[in-house]
Amino acid sequence: MAGTVINLRSTLNTVGGLGWIVENEESVHILSTSGRSALIRVIRSGKVIIRACNGNKEEVFVVRIGERKEFPRNLRLMEGDIFTLSMKKDAEWTFPSGQIQALTDTEDAKTVTFQAMAGGSYEICAAVGKRKRSCKVRVIGRKNKEEKPYYNLVLQDNVMTLVEGEKAETTLIRSSNDPDAKITVTSSAEKKAVFRMKGDKLLIHAKSPGIVRGRIRYGTATADLEVIVEKTPSVSRATKVKAINHRGYSMEAPENTIPAFELSQEKGFDYVETDVDFTKDGVAVLLHDKTINRTACNPDGSRIKETIAIRDITYQEALQYDFGRMRGMEYVGTKIPTFEEFLQVCKYRHIHPYIELKPKKDFTKKQLQTLVAIVKKENMSDKVTWISFSYSALKTIKANDKGARIGYLVHRVRPRAVRRATRLRTGQNEVFLCATDLTDNAVALCYKARLPLELWGVNKESTMKKLDPYISGVISDSKHFGQALAAE
């Protein structure tokens, strides 16, 4: 199957050197060789002939790679072997961690690379929803521990494209029976890219444009890396930066209420952010907290003594409370708005809403489907943005609306967040990252993946005027940040 790493072991004598020849290189790629062994990564299905040669002698390996064996039922391996299993969708992986070691991330992963650590029979399972597949792995232990040392070495990423100044890392997947084996790294041009080892991580710092080739040695095994360093793009702001008013104009009006969103437009904002939740009887309403105590009071203005969760009361019961009096007498009698009422106001006033789905609210798939259905009912599918720290919630939104504009909220932009965000693309929608903390390489990571980048919580106007021109939106509580962005 594509992506699988195969460990071939020849019986020929290695005196004088052993060569490996692949007849159809478009199907497999030789990652590294060591003594009698060769690590080969499968690129695509088909019949592959690989020859091990020493002088006039040769040994022929015929490898048949099937399209449907992405997850084989049985595997027979040697202790120390490295292998890869793949699913068509992101899966939850379970395996005996003491005997089988995962060398790559197993959380929400389609493909995982493992290493057989000890002889025996084991089972690896991958589950996608209710569907579960299992692979029985038979590992043959190495009987003679004093045999000639063997070395296996694979780079998780062999080719990388970086922007000058960007930092990245890749994982070394290795195995050996030599406890004293050392790793060395060489670079063809240290002025263009610097390589440094940190445990099993190869750290790369792109310095200047060009192509840099690196070689990693582990005992007698080698692996090659190619780094393409691109010039930092000069990004000009093609359109006005989106100024997104947090919970409406909550600096003056009661947050997440119709008066707050109407005031947002009067103050010049075309975008607003809000939070949504459900009442006990399943009505979608706007509320930031799980409880109503911070933002609501009794009709007479007194504080609500008992803690009241919005999901523990019906919508009619929620209407008994005042959500405006606490911000001033001009807002007395303001009620909690429904999600549908909010969308109708946005549609009438041409306001684009950012709808946040908070992970702590544990939305069910049915609740998320209800929200998407309400948006579609109001013909607002192409006029709303869904944002969340919950990757699973955004996947549900994507599944129910292929054209949904989606923002994946993160604290810091990291390679894993970029990978997750790109998986939310459907080919019909726009996906972006929204970060609460702008790190040095955040723009470079997003630019490389062609992901727009927006920021959350920038409240100082002086900071806004110094933002990188790649930033396309800012969510803020500042009164005048819309003007600050426009002035910049």
Chain-centroid distance of CA 60 in Å reads: 42
pLDDT tens-place string over residues 361-371: 889 999 999 99
7-45: pLDDT as tens digits:
677 777 666 567 777 766 666 666 566 667 776 766 666
Rounded Cα–Cα distance for residues 78 and 98 (Å): 16
Question: For residue 418, which phi and psi values (nearest 5 degrees)?
Answer: -65, -45
Sequence-ordered list of residues with C-beta below 8 angstroms from that of 52, at least 6 positions apart, any chain: 8, 10, 12, 18, 19, 20, 36, 38, 58, 59, 61
Give me the CATH code for the 151-230 domain, please: 2.60.40.1080
3: confidence class by pLDDT, cuts 50, 70, 90:
low
DSSP code for 312: G
Q: Where are the domains of the chain?
A: 5-140, 151-230, 242-487
Q: Letter for the amino acid at 360?
A: K
Please report which helix (H) or strand (E) contains residue 326, including its range: none
Q: Do domains 5-140 and 151-230 have the same CATH topology?
A: yes
CB burial string 232-244: b at 16+ within 10 A, e below: eeeeeeeeebbbb
What is residue 9's three-state secondary structure?
Answer: strand
When mean pLDDT is compared across 57-61, 103-107, 183-187, 484-488, the lowest value belongs to 484-488
Inter-residue contact 227 to 196 (CB < 8 Å): no
CA angle 26, 29, 31 (to 5 degrees): 170
Q: What is the pLDDT of residues 109-146, one digit of tens each?
A: 778 878 887 788 888 888 887 888 888 888 887 655 45
Q: Which CATH architecture has domain 5-140?
A: Sandwich (2.60)
Best CATH choice for the domain 242-487 from the list 3.20.20.190, 3.30.2350.10, 3.40.50.620, 3.30.360.10: 3.20.20.190
For residues 407 and 454, the answer to whether their CB atoms sit within 8 Å is yes
